[in-house]
Structure 1
Amino acid sequence: MAEQTSPHRAADAPVRPGPAPRVPEHEAPVGDLGRRLALRRTQLGLSRREAAARAGMAASYLRHLEEHPAATPGAGAMIRLAGALETTVAELTGGTADQPPGPGEAVRGARFTALQPEECRALLATHGVGRLAVSTEDGPVVVPVNYSIVDGAVVFRTAAHATPARAVGQRVALEVDRIDEAFSRGWSVLVRGDAEAVTDSAAVRRLNGRAHSTPWAGGRRSQWVRIVPVAITGRRISV
């Protein structure tokens, strides 16, 4: 049932945090700001009500922002949302989209720790974009790929003659990371293993059905590559 409270009248009304239901797919945001709000909220494991309560606004107003591309919250609301979602206004508005991550200074008292193997696997299993290091005749090359984890292996789809396809038959490395610009912290996980082409028709159908990620590059990318890990290590920088 749609929430009846007017988003503009309720913008500053606090709400109590409720349970943390998953956001249904039919409620997926359509605007750039809305998509960034919903993504960051999901990364923190917050329901819409919990995030709104942190920001001191109504859940109906946050829903309005997530679902309406023309929504233009004021500066005060954006600052509160950035604080509630542990990020910056620039991140939420896409102002850093074309900049490399990590321009901020390190915070005092930061700790650099090794991740346990189970922590590395848990972070990998969230799926996303990884950086694949491949050896070529011109030297090592690093390219981004949309990967998934299926049966403990890293899998990705590529075109037969694209650079990622050169991984087949090699020992390669895949690096995945997350950087929190607002707090100068983050983690990285490195997978090393042997890459192989998946050619069995039954295995291909299985990957088509189970893999999470679709290549952002688009086009026909029907070659599946699987990396069977031989080593998984990780590091975290925290405060």
Structure 2
Amino acid sequence: MTERASSHAAEGSPKGDLGRRITQRRTELGLSRQETAAQAGMSPAYLQYLEERPPADPGAGTLLRLAGALKTTVWHLTGGDTELPPGLGRAARTPRFRELTEAECRSLLSTHGVGRLAVPADSGPVVVPVNYSVVDGGIVFRTEPGTVPAQADGQRVAFETDRIDEAFSEGWSVLVRGPATTVTDPDEVARLAEQVYSTPWAGGRRDLWLRIEPVAVTGRRITVA
């Protein structure tokens, strides 16, 4: 098995659920395959095998070492939490809560991701997830006419994104508030279509662009003291 994995010198595309989760997590942490393998006590060739071969079925000890190296849980690596909401773990014994600066919040928003859009409606606020990007400091996303996200046009809305680390009972959240408007200029629409990272996960034809202009940007972080 190790010899077969060693025949691939370059990092290939991850295949299979386990391989994708390992690769995604170490990419989040900024770890190379060599660094991850060293921390997990295995050869880079074997880690490559786990990432690139769908039939790979490592034992419990290997998964525990990998989870430790990647600062996550075996449950997460094996997809056991896919259908469950985040935050099921216990709170830390000595949590530390602090407000984030606006600069920290904007850094955490990064360039793209998935967040939750809160839109006012006659029956009360409605919250829906959207794929977003950050362009020129504003939150942009695309949808289709008649949808809940499309109702944000001309409204003062809230947008929230967050990250939870189940293994360490840590996390952060960022809240953006401001007016949302439809992007109508053809040149601007073309520029967004070229610059935005990804298409909506929901698929389908979604050519209506909206932009949230941040008026207030706040955030908070929980760490373990």
Bin for the TM-score computed over the shorter chain: over 0.9
Decide whether the 8 Å contact of 1:7 with 1:58 is kept in 2.
no
Q: 1:165 aligns with which of 147, 150, 155?
A: 150
CA contact (8 A) 1:41 1:47 kept: yes
- Please give the alpha-carbon distance, in whole angstroms, between the structure 2 residues aligned to 1:57 and 1:95: 24
| Structure 1 residue 59 corresponds to structure 2 residue 56 | no
State which drifts further: 59-68 or 138-147.
59-68
Shift in Å at residue 96 of structure 1?
Answer: 0.3
Q: What is the SS of the residue equivalent to 2:42?
A: coil
Answer yes or no: is 1:147 the counterpart of 2:132. yes
CA distance in 2, matches of 1:220, 1:137: 27
**Structure 1: segments with no counterpart, 5+ residues:** 10-22
Q: Tell me if the contact between 2:119 and 2:127 (Cα under 8 Å) persists in the aligned partners.
A: yes
Alignment partner, residue 74 of structure 1: 59
Which TM-score applies when normalising by structure 1? Answer: 0.89
Per the alignment, residue 182 of structure 2 pairs with 197
List per-residue Cα deviations over 1:211-233 (Å, max 9, x = no partner): 11321100111111110100100
Out of 1, 8, 21, the residue aligned to residue 36 of structure 1 is 21
Aligned residues: 221
> RMSD in angstroms over aligned alpha carbons?
1.7
Equivalent residue, structure 2, for 1:211: 196
One-letter code aligned to 1:75: A
- Percent sequence identity over aligned pairs: 63
Deviation sequence 1:142-173 (CA, Å, 0-9, x none): 00000000111100111111111111100101
The one-letter code matched in structure 2 to 1:68 is: R
Residue 229 of structure 1 aligns to a residue whose secondary structure is coil
Of 3, 20, 29, 1:6 maps to 3
Q: Which amino acid aligns with 1:106?
A: A
Determine if contact 1:129/1:176 at 8 Å carries over to the other structure.
yes
CA contact (8 A) 1:7 1:61 kept: no
Q: Which moved more, 1:188-197 or 1:62-71?
A: 62-71
> Matched residues in 2 for 1:147 and 1:28: separation?
25
For each residue in 1:171-207, what CA deviation from the matched residue of structure 2 results, as whole angstroms up to 9, or x when unmatched? Answer: 1011000000011110000001110101111101100
* Matched AA of 1:135: P
Cα distance in 2 for residues equivalent to 1:168 and 1:36: 36
Matched, 1:183 2:180: no
Find the residue that maps to 2:108 and give its secondary structure.
Answer: helix
Q: Is 1:119 the equivalent of 2:104? A: yes
On the 8 A contact 2:119/2:158 being kept in 1, the answer is yes
Q: TM-score, length-normalised on structure 2?
A: 0.94
1:95-114 superposed matches below 5 A:
95-114=80-99
